[in-house]
Structure 1
C-alpha cells in the first residue's frame, strides 16, 4: 500500500474517535493500580512491594503484547489484532477485579498488559504512518487522550472510594469493549515500506545507528517521565514542601504533559518534526536542571511535563519516516520504552538513597541531555544521507 492510500484509509472519523477513547481507557486503567494497592494488600494479605508487582506484571505483559502483535502482524489484519487486544484488556480487567488469589490477580494484570501492549503498538504504528503530513498531529492526538484517562481515573476513585476499586476495573472492562464496535472504521492493512519484520539494514550501519539513537531517546525519556511521576513528591517534600502540595504538583506534571500533547496536535501542523524534537529535549533538560533550585522546583517539573509531551508520539512519526522499510523499529522502541519504565524508577530510587534527592533531577537532566544529543545525531545522519543525493549547492535540513 502506498503512502497516498495510507493517508486516505488509516481510519475514518469514527475510527479516530474510537481510538482516542481506547487510549483514554488504557490511561485510566494504568492509573488505577496505585489507588488499589492498600486494598490489594488487605484482600490478599500481601506486602506493599508484592502489591506493587501488579504494575510490573502489567508492563511485562505490555512488552510481550507489543512483540507478539508485531510478530504476527503479517498473518493477520489490523482489525483482528486490535479486536483481540481490546478483548484481552476487558477479560483481564474483570479477572483482576474478582481474582480469588494473588497469583491469579497477577496473571490478570499480565493479561491486561498483553492487550495494552498490542493496542498501544497497533494504533501508534497506524497513526504514525497512516495520515501523511498529518501523522505527527494525529499520533499526538490519540496519545493525549491517554493522559485524559490517567487524570480521570483518580477522580473516579476519589468519588466512589478506593475500597470500591473493583467497580473502576469493571468500568475499564466495559470501556475496552466499546471500541470493538468501531473496528470496521480502522484500516484493515496499513503497510509502510516492505513491512518486513527485520532490523533496518538498508543503508547498513546508518540504519542501525538511527535505530540505536531512537532507542536511546525512548528509553531515557520514558525513564524521565516515570522518574518525575514517581519521585517528584519525595524530592519536593525533602526540600520543604508539604506532602499535599507535593502531591498536587505531581498531578500538575501529568496535566501539563496531557496539555502539551493537545498543543502538539496544532504545533505538528506548523513546525517540522526535527524542530519539535530538539525544542522538547532542550526544554526538558533545562527544566530538570532548574528543578535543583528548591524555589523553582514545582514550576520546573511542570515545565518538564510540557516539554516531554510531544516526544513519544512525534518520535514515532519521525522514526517511521527515517526508517520506512522496518515496521519492526516501531515495535522495538515501544517495547524499549516500556522496559525503561520498569527499570529506571527503582534505579533513581537507589541513586536517591546513595546521594540524596537532589541527585534525582540532576541524573534525569543528564538523561535529557543524552536525548538531545541523540536527536542531533539523527538529524546529522539524515542530513549526510540527503547531501549525498541532492545536487551541489542544496542544503539538507
Structure 2
C-alpha cells in the first residue's frame, strides 16, 4: 500500500505535516514489494466502457493483470515495471483518463453512485463531479492541495456524506444544498447555481488560511481553528453502500477486497450499458444494465447477492505486496469470512441498526498504518505478528476493548465484534 496512510486514532493530536504527502498517482508511482503501483483518479468513479477496457489492457500489458478499486472509487494497477511510466501515461491520455499532468493527484472526487437511478436523491451530482473536475484542472492554485484531499458530492441520500471528506456538498430536498467543511457538525447553505463554485471556494480558502498561518496540512480537519462554524444543521447521513444485485435503473456488484482480474473487468464491461460507476465501497454500479446480466457476473466472481459476511469487508494489501505488513491479511481475512456464515447466522437478526447486512464494516490491516480503513464505526482487525488484535473502533465513547486472538480464533472474534450491540 502507499506509504502515507490517512489514519488517525480517535482522540489523537492534530498532526502538523512537515512534508508533502507521498500519495501515488498515475505519473508518480509507488514502489511496493510486488512492483510499481499507480493510482488512477476517477472523479465520481465514472468510467466509459472504452476507458474501462483500456485499464484492463494496461493491467495486462504493464502490470500483474489485476485492477484494484479504492475507498475513493479510484483504480490502482500493481506489479508495474520501473520503466513503464511513460507508456502508462500515454495509454491513459489516449482515453481521457489523464486530462492534466499537474493536477492528476488532486482529482479526488466521490459522488453518490446511484444518483439519477431511482426515486431517492435529488441533484445530478455526476454532472457536478464532471464540472468540479474540469474547474480543478483549470485552477493553478489547486496543485497546492494534498493528494489525499477529498471532495464528496452527495445527492441527498447521505451515502458519500458519511465518508468525512474535506469538503462535502449535500444536495437539498426542497431547499438549497449544504456545504460541510471537514467533520463539522453543522453546514453552510449554498446559493442555487453556485454549488460547484462553493466547493472550490472552500478548498481555496483552506489553502489561503494555511499560507497565512504558516501551517502545513493535508486535510481540513487537521486545522479546526481555520474552519468557519456552520449555520444550518446537517441532513441525516445514513452512509449506506449500494446493495448488490438488481436495482432500479441498473445493477450493483461487489468485488472481494476490491480486486478484479482483467478478465473480470471485461465481464463488467460486457454487462454494462456503456457506463460504469466505481463506488467508495469497492464495488461497481452499472447504470441501465439489465438484470439478466447478473448470472454471468456472479459466474465471473462478483458478489451479486446481498447479506453475506463479505458485505463491507475490506483489507489492506498485506504480504507479499507490502513489506510493512506482518501477515498475508487478505488470505487470512478470506478464510475468516468464509467461516463466518457457519458460526452464528441467526445472530444477523440482532445486529445494531447502523451495521446493516453482515454487521459492522470490518477492515484487516497488516500494520499500525491501517491503510484503506473505513470511516465511522468499524471492526479493526490488526495483525500483530502472533495473530490479530480485534477491536470495535470509532468514537471514543463507542470504542471496544481490544482482544488478541490466534488465526484460528479470528473468525469467531470478528463475527462477534461485527454483530456487537454496544
Q: TM-score, normalised by structure 2?
A: 0.27
Higher share in strand? 2
**Greater RCO structure (CA 8 Å; 6+ sep):** 1
Q: TM-score, normalised by structure 1?
A: 0.29
Higher share in helix? 1
